[in-house]
Structure 1
Amino acid sequence: MALTLYVDTARWRAHHKHVQEQFPGLVPVCKGNGYGFGHERLAEEATRLGSDVLAVGTTYEAARIKDWFGGDLLVLTPYRRGEEPVPLPDRVIRSVSSIDGVYGLVGARVVIEVMSSMKRHGISEQELPQLHAAIENVRLEGFAIHLPLDRTDGSDAVEEVIGWMDRLRAARLPLHTMFVSHLKAEDLARLQQQFPQTRFRARIGTRLWLGDHDSTEYRGAVLDVTRVSKGDRFGYRQQKAASDGFLVVVAGGTSHGVGLEAPKALHGVMPRAKGVARAGLATVNRNLSPFVWGGKQRWFAEPPHMQVSILFVPSDAPEPKVGEELVAHLRHTTTQFDRIVDR
């Protein structure tokens, strides 16, 4: 009995090919928990796509994945002096976002990140003159720019990249390759047309692996079902049942990521109102679970346990049976499955 990730493999892979056709020179990204699929699986899929470079989040991820992917590995987290050394092969490329970082990687293959409107990390325009001397002792694989997902000020992502291309060109720095993130296919085409001597390579994770929502589905198996009457006590905290119904024990708990949710940026009155309503319900121990039964998302009977969750299903709904599976609306990047099934 498990929390299972079901994959419509043919459909999933067809989506990968479609994205690859839209973004020539695509660099797949495999970081974190492997977007819910795991590092080994995504390394195999990147190999299937014929990718020559796979981007990972950290040096630790690079060390784990190096035996599963035979091409170059691009570490996205910028190098910092004093970081713990991790033994890595020469095919690993390090990202750098400071002049000091470039000087600290003598002989290494590097991609230099420039400061975008994200303002997360990157070389500033004022530092560009210092790069000439710094890059003499490294093997420069190109520059990179990481763009924001939303542009609420109405600015143009392509114009931001063009601005940096012009600055790099004015500083007489090599522009053979530019790695970009969060651009549309038509944006990439515009840039490639304007700068035909530069190879633009889109680093893509979410759109590639999770862009076709209907190709994957999580389901948790029902482990036990217990009928309860209104007022019956149950669970770790011995709460009372609010009405007649069923306590349904389903595979999937905190160790799987069930009950975990990343903060969201809310825009507009309605999303904010819903957020306030959910917070209010949580104060009286009413928390909606990700599990669906009888066409409705069901409430947690109590907070999820380590490996299972207990749901409350009211008596007017069909009684779940042990061995049946409940669809679970879970976020791939925070979920750890027990097993993956290709179909």
Structure 2
Amino acid sequence: MALTLYVDTDRWRAHQQSVIQQFPGIVPVCKGNGYGFGHERLADEATKFGADILAVGTTYEAARTKDLFGGDLLVLTPFRKDEEPVPLPDRAIRSVSSVEGVALMRGARVVIEVMSSMKRHGVTEADLPKLHAAIDEVRLEGFAIHLPLDRTDGSDAVEEVIGWMDRLRAARLPLDTMFVSHLKPNEFAVLQQQFPQTRFRARIGTRLWLGDHQATEYRGAILDVTRVAKGERFGYRQARASGDGWLVVVAGGTSHGVGLEAPKALHGMTSRAKGVARAGLATVNRNLSPFVWAGKQRWFAEPPHMQVSILFIPSDAPEPHVGEELTAILRHTTTMVDRTMDR
């Protein structure tokens, strides 16, 4: 019995096609845990819809993916001079974010990242005059800009890209291809219309693989059910049951990512109040699990174990049985499942 990711395959692929149509020349991204599906599955999907290039996070991911995907592999993490060398085929393309990096990549295929308002990494406007000599020594595949998701200052994504296009053109640098991230379909179309001589290629992961939330569902199988009475002790720490009910052992623990939560940016008083409430409950060992039974998220009876979680189901809920499954509300990018089932 397992923690399973169920995929409505027809619906999932229909969503893929809708994104592909909105972003001609799309560069699918397959990094981290493969957005919950795994690298092998996403490489196969990219091959099926005819992608000529697949973006991965690191050189280590590129080495693992090279035998899964036959096209070009774009490594998103920029090259660093002291990095561990990883053997990669010639179809690997390295991102570079500094003039020094370009100079050290002699003969390699490279994409040069420019510094966006993300301020994460990239060449600056002051670096552009120095790039002329450096790019003569590499096989330049294009420039790239990684944009922020939110624009709380009211700035415009298209204007930011246009600003960089103007700077690159003024520096007389080649503008054959520009890789972009986090643009809306209408923004992407505007740029392609405004710069018809440049091929814009959108690097997309989350929107492509996870954009239709109804196409996927996590479920954990019930492995054991034990009736408990209020005050009975249980578990590793021998806590007392808060009431009459059942202890339910369900597939899915810390090795699957259950119990992990990435920090979130909180906006507004409501979300902040909820955060404070969750923190307060945690101090008295009340932690809400991602597992749903009878329409409600249920509490962890104790912190999740490595491969299973123990939940407390109160006696006023329907009795759970071994072999049944609980829906789990899990974050795709932090979850590792035992199996994926198409339906």
How would you bin the TM-score normalised by the shorter chain?
Answer: over 0.9
Query: How far apart, CA to CA, are the structure 2 residues paired with 1:58 and 1:281?
Result: 38
SS in structure 1 at match of 2:291: strand
* Amino acid in the other structure paired with 1:59: T
User: Deviations for 1:252-272, whole angstroms, at most 9, x for unmatched residues?
Assistant: 000000000100000000000
1:124-273 correspondence runs (5 A): 124-273=124-273
Q: Provide the residue aligned with 1:84 in structure 2.
A: 84
Mapped to 1, the partners of 2:177 and 2:191 lie a distance apart of: 12
User: Deviations for 1:44-97, whole angstroms, at most 9, x for unmatched residues?
Assistant: 000011000000000000000000100000000000001100010000000000
Partner Cα distance (2:335, 2:154) in 1: 34
One-letter amino acid of the structure 2 residue matched with residue 227 of structure 1: R
Counterpart of 1:177, as a letter, is T
- The Cα of 1:186 is off from its aligned counterpart by 0.3
Measure, in 1, the Cα distance between the counterparts of 2:176 and 2:123: 18
> What is the distance in 2 between the residues matched to 1:196 and 1:224?
62
CA distance in 2, matches of 1:192, 1:4: 41
User: Structure 2 CA distance, aligned partners of 1:253 and 1:155?
Assistant: 42
Partner of 2:310: 310
Q: Secondary structure at the match of 2:161?
A: helix
Q: Which amino acid aligns with 1:139?
A: R
Runs of 4+ in 1 over 3 A off after TM superposition: none
The aligned residue for residue 299 of structure 1 is: 299
The amino acid across from 1:326 in the alignment is L
**How far, CA to CA, are the matches of 2:68 and 2:277 in structure 1?**
46
- Give me the identity figure in percent: 83
Q: Distance in 2 between the 1:239 and 1:21 partners?
A: 55
**Counterpart of 1:281?**
281
Residue of structure 2 equivalent to 1:10? 10
Deviation digits for residues 143-171 of structure 1 (CA, Å, limit 9, x no counterpart): 00000000000000000000000000000
Shift of the alpha carbon at 1:199?
0.3
Rounded to whole Å, the distance in 2 between the matches of 1:339 and 1:115 is: 40
Structure 1 residues 4-43: aligned runs within 5 Å: 4-43=4-43
2:96 aligns to what? 96
Deviations 1:109-164 (A, max 9, x none): 00000000000000000000000011010000000000000000000000000000
CA distance in 1, matches of 2:310, 2:289: 9
User: Within 1, Cα distance between the matches of 2:137 and 2:305?
Assistant: 53
3-state DSSP of counterpart to 2:85: coil
Q: Tell me the alpha carbon deviations over residues 306-333 of structure 1, each in whole angstroms, 9 at most, x when there is no partner.
A: 0000000000000100000000000000
Task: Name the SS for the 2:77 alignment partner.
Answer: coil
Q: TM-score, normalised by structure 2?
A: 1.00
Partner secondary structure for residue 30 of structure 1: coil
Q: 2:159 & 2:126 partners in 1: Cα distance?
A: 19
Q: How big is the alpha-carbon RMSD for the aligned residues of Structure 1 and Structure 2?
A: 0.3
The one-letter code matched in structure 2 to 1:225 is V
**Shift of residue 172 of structure 1?**
0.2
For 2:133, the aligned partner's letter is A
Q: Which amino acid aligns with 1:5?
A: L
Please tell me the residue identity of whatever aligns with 1:148.
Answer: P
Partner secondary structure for residue 220 of structure 1: strand
CA distance in 1, matches of 2:169, 2:149: 26
SS in 2 for 1:168: helix
Q: Please name the residue that 1:327 is paired with.
A: 327
Provide the residue aligned with 2:119 in structure 1.
119
Structure 2 residue identity aligned to 1:234: F
Distance 2:146 2:120 in 1: 9
- C-alpha deviations, 1:169-215, integer Å up to 9, x for none? 00000000000000000001100111000000000000000000000
d(CA) in 1 for partners of 2:104 and 2:301?
A: 54
